[in-house]
Structure 1
Amino acid sequence: MNAEANPTHPRPPGWQMIQDSPSPGAARLLLHGAWNLQGIGRHMQQLRSELGRLAGQNRLDWDLRAVDALDTAGALLLWRAWGARLPSRTELSSEQRAIFERLEALPALPPPASQPLNWRLPLEAVGRTAMRIGRQGVDALALLGYFLLDLLHVLRRPGLMPWRETSATLYKSGPQALGIIGLVGFSIGVVVSYQSALTLAAYGANIYIVNLLGLSILRELGPLMAAVILAGRSGSAFTAQLGVMRVTQEIDALETFGVSPTLRLILPKVVALALALPLLVLWADAIAILGGMIIAKYQLGIGYPVFLARLPQVVPQVNFWIGIGKGVLFGAIIALVASFYGLKTKPNTESLSRETTNSVVMSVTLVILIDALIAFLLSDVGL
């Protein structure tokens, strides 16, 4: 592996076979160039294969005295090619010999033992997961118990309720979310109406667009859409806020002064979201039905007075109250889940980001599961 020397860079590693070896019948392999990390880096695979082939020749004398630079990386490459021992006929400088003596003094690592298949490992993994879920369930029940006790305490003594924190949370979670919820609600109403209009028009059932839109939006899509948006918008903010307070030990300070974190931090959030989300559901229902009415007007020719007059006739009022009740329930669940993961945060930024993500995922998952359960339990109500 010969190369021309470069005036600005050291010579790459190489060698030259010379037939003037002092040993009878042997050849001398003269190594030259830079046998250091910089020199061998780009030629590692080629050097390893060619050195392995050369090391297999018995009648060969190795001469490293012409090497420009040798470090531990280059010496280790040669050492492995030689089989972790110096060849019997090797010419080295004193500095090079010291490097190889250090390699020779290193203890030989035994080959990794093959691990037999352990059938217990999957069971242990399942057990650890079950124990972790169980611990989280116990912690969640403890938080719920503290919350209910503080709620009963506040109901007996309303003056203890932190009304200022509740009103601030209500404003941040309610009026400030009207824009995004209105935009998404209008889009959903337009999409549902447009997709349904094509099928209904094919069967001459144009007027049933009112039934479809009213039932789907008031009972299912409105509450679900508002809850998902609020979980991502306000739930993540609650988790991050409590997580930062946990990191900065503000929650520990409240407990030191005898102030209940549940009463001061969690109860206002639950009350605010339980009040804000039903109002947001009402807003989402109105905007979504407005979008559906516009599409029904231009796709199916159903006028606005006809649509509004038929809506309360074909959609029982109980569907509206089911949607509002879902809003109250979903708001309380989102606030409790966000608070639970916020209090779980450990004093580091990685835990804060992880728990915020877990909060949003768990909130959305619970909202969807509970919505499906309510739909199953109330399947005969309001239809």
Structure 2
Amino acid sequence: MTDSQKLQNKLKQNIAVKLVLIVIIACALLLPVTVITWLNEGYHHLHLVHIVFLILAFALYFRPSKQLFGIDVALVTMFLSFVMLIGAYGIGINSGLLALLFSSCLVLLYLHSSMLSAIYGFLAIALVATILLLKPDSVIFPYDAHLSLDTAYYVWNFSIISVLIAFVVISTLLAETYKKFSQSTLLLAKKKEELDYLANHDHLTGLSSQRLAQEQLELTLNMAKRHEFKAAILYIDIDEFSLINDALGHDAGDYALKEVAKRIKELIRDTDIACRQGGDEFLVILHFPVSKEACDIICKRLIAAFDQRVPYKDHEIKINLSIGVAIFPDHGDTQYELRTKADKAMQFSKKHNKHNFTFADEIETK
């Protein structure tokens, strides 16, 4: 079951519990009327049905597990149908039965299926129509001037209570629909945010992805050209990274990559961007203000950050970095030129001067 389905079932379960609570409240509020009528006019089987609904609703509401909410839906639908049929038999179409019918169909539609809701609606309409046809004298208008005071009082009360029950049920469903829509919107936004993050970040180190770094580098170069300032890129490679994997396993290699990424982020400015190029290579984009002296300082800090071995479980990992530096516009004015020269400078450091850095214009002089 997907997270979306679990959320949907949880929402339906919560709605079913709230609807059962509505049944409890309705039955409890009307219980004094049932008791008084029972004592004054004698027993009627409707009194027993009322009490049974109240007991069943209590039992369902306070049961330990509410995962099987289908029985809640069945109880609520039966209760609404019961009130609807009593109204149809005793008062007729003015009893609020249309509101009860609509609310019952809505409950089944929301908590079960459209098919069951349609079948129920068809059968309920057929049954109510049959009652009205077989007992035409039950059609009583609450505003009929010929009604006795007691009858008019009963008709008005029953009609108001029926509509009120239906209104509370429908309002609950609409409120939960809005809540469900809001939660679904938040879930979709969260999923989109997660997808955007995965698309723009390396899953292991959390650094920017190659695609995002490429876009940011192009943007930086365009700004540097327009405002005539310098920018720089650092190509960083972990020397003999394969030895870490071979000696301690890939988990140690992943730890080393994350540790390098962590320290790079700590040592560069918030305006600069670091990304993992893939494997054991990293790229750092330095924004304005940039100078050769500033690059020199940053590179020395990165190298010094790994002068000491890095603790890993019961072992220590020696991490050496080789860095190549290319500055715009001194070493090139396009992304391709800068990347190529920074890569060559890094390879030069890796071959001739490990755990150190080289500027692109220094390759020919060394």
Q: TM-score, normalised on structure 2?
A: 0.21
Q: Higher strand share goes to which structure?
A: 2
Q: Higher helix share goes to which structure?
A: 1
Query: Which of structures 1 and 2 has the larger relative contact order (alpha carbons within 8 angstroms, sep 6+)?
Result: 1
Q: TM-score, normalised on structure 1?
A: 0.21
